[in-house]
Amino acid sequence: MRSLTYRHTLAASYLGYISQAIVNNLAPLLFLTFQRQFDISLSRLALLISLNFTIQLLVDFAAVHFIDKIGYRIAAVSAHLLCAAGLVSMGILPFSMSDPYGGLVISVFINALGGGLIEVIISPIVEALPGERKAAAMSLLHSFYCWGYVMVVVLSTLYFNLAGIEHWRYLPMLWALLPLGNVFLFAKTPMKTLIEESAQAIPLGSLMRRQVFLILFLLMICSGASEQAMSQWASFFAEAGLRVSKTMGDLLGPCAFAVLMGLSRVFFGLQKGDFKLERILLCSGAVCIMSYLVTVFSPFPLLSLAGCALCGLSVGVMWPGTFSLASRVFPLGGTAMFAVLALAGDVGCAAGPGLVGVIMNKTALTTGLLAAIGFPILLVMGICLLRFRTAKDR
């Protein structure tokens, strides 16, 4: 058997982000089925989303203290085992427990543990691989979350049409095969760590006291919020604005958003040369602001939907670009830095759609989306401040 190389490590990392996309996005596609089959209220289904975000935040926070102690390999293998176990339990526990909702809570809890670990560990694994084009590799890596999102929507819809929605319980078990297979890949692939043994990582306390890092922390919050505020409401907006079916709404809304977000990451990742990350993030923020304005103020539903898709294109580089920028500014930041930045990103992922939902309940969807424009505006301001601070330090 031919020995595995760092290319296999990179491939396993790509599959890791697809696994995260599966555990994050499969359950919401089945919410209506859960409601009808198990008589679960919408408010209790909404709690499953909150549980997922909360557990991932806690994993991000805890990982700061234990990832370097247990090592990258154990963390990656454990993450994928948890994802596989959570998906399998989604198809079993609701039918074997007296309270089906309790079974769903347990499966979402297990999935969130695995998804949170993937978010923390995969980025430093790729950042530590040999090679010069770190920003490109990071952008390509994060594009696979988008392709995983697209796969979940398209292939799950195909499964429902072929096998029937009444047989949904077998779908999570089929999806579990992917993270389960990735367990064996991560168990054998070669890995490096971010900090060489002769180097000394910056203490987390010292890192958190630096103004530049706090700006990067803010950028991660804005990146997650700018992305999820539109992504979570794109399906509803497509269905309400164009009056199309649920299936078509999912394809024109979140699927189109995810495709363009993935394409932007692939395009950036395939470019050669030394790019100015600050300039790229500034352009991304400006286009994101424009996309929100088009979505909210366009008198034509189709043009508003194009604004949703344009938002996916604009936010694509924000998350991986900020990760790579942090690695450049703090090359000795270590795994703890990535864990803290992942935590900030997850805070944004929860805050963005939450803000839209709260304002939408009191006013209208377009007003909620308009409020979310504050996140890309803050990102642009943060990049300008970061450029000023780093230039001053130099």
Q: Is the pTM of this model over 0.75?
A: yes
CA-angle at 288, arms to 284 and 292, nearest 5°: 175
Residues 150 and 252 in one domain: no
Instruction: Please count the structural domains in the chain.
Output: 2
Residues 151 and 247 in one domain: no
H or E, element range at 31: helix 31-38
Residues 46 and 153 in one domain: yes
Tell me what pLDDT residue 331 has: 80
Tell me what pLDDT residue 2 has: 59
Residues 173 and 213 in one domain: no
- Which distant-in-sequence residues (6+ apart) come within 8 Å of 379 by Cβ? 219, 222, 223, 226, 281, 284, 285, 288, 318
Residues 51 and 125 in one domain: yes
Residues 156 and 37 in one domain: yes
Helices (H) then strands (E): counts for the chain: 18, 0
Tokens of 113: 């543990």
Half-sphere exposure of 61 (CA within 13 A, CB side): 8
Answer for the pair 224, 346: CB distance below 8 angstroms, yes or no.
Answer: yes
First-residue to last-residue Cα distance in the chain = 50
Point out the domain boundary residue: 147, 163, 193. 193
Point out the domain boundary residue: 177, 193, 209. 193
Residue that the structure tokens 């999806």 belong to: 175
Q: What's the domain range around 386?
A: 199-394
pLDDT lower than 50: segments of the chain: 1, 196-198
Residue that the structure tokens 């909620």 belong to: 368
Point out the domain boundary residue: 141, 173, 193. 193
Residues 245 and 148 in one domain: no
Residues 247 and 133 in one domain: no
Half-sphere exposure of 102 (CA within 13 A, CB side): 4
Q: What is the pLDDT of residues 176-195, one digit of tens each?
A: 999 999 999 999 998 887 65
Q: Report the alpha-carbon distance of residue 123 to residue 346 in Å, rounded.
A: 14
Q: Can you say how many angstroms the Cα of residue 296 is from the centroid of all Cα atoms in its chain? A: 24
Q: Report the alpha-carbon distance of residue 181 to residue 18 in Å, rounded.
A: 12
Residues 214 and 178 in one domain: no
Half-sphere exposure of 241 (CA within 13 A, CB side): 27
Residues 91 and 70 in one domain: yes
Q: Report the alpha-carbon distance of residue 63 to residue 49 in Å, rounded.
A: 21
Answer for the pair 337, 330: CB distance below 8 angstroms, yes or no.
Answer: yes
| Helices of type H across 39-176 | 42-70, 72-96, 100-127, 134-163, 170-175
Tell me what pLDDT residue 133 has: 66
What is the maximum alpha-carbon separation in the chain?
63
Tokens of 65: 């203290």
Q: Report the alpha-carbon distance of residue 365 to residue 206 in Å, rounded.
A: 42
Residue that the structure tokens 């989303």 belong to: 49
Secondary structure letter of residue 271 according to DSSP: -
Residues 69 and 174 in one domain: yes
Residues 166 and 277 in one domain: no
3-state secondary structure of 34: helix
> At 234, which CATH number?
1.20.1250.20
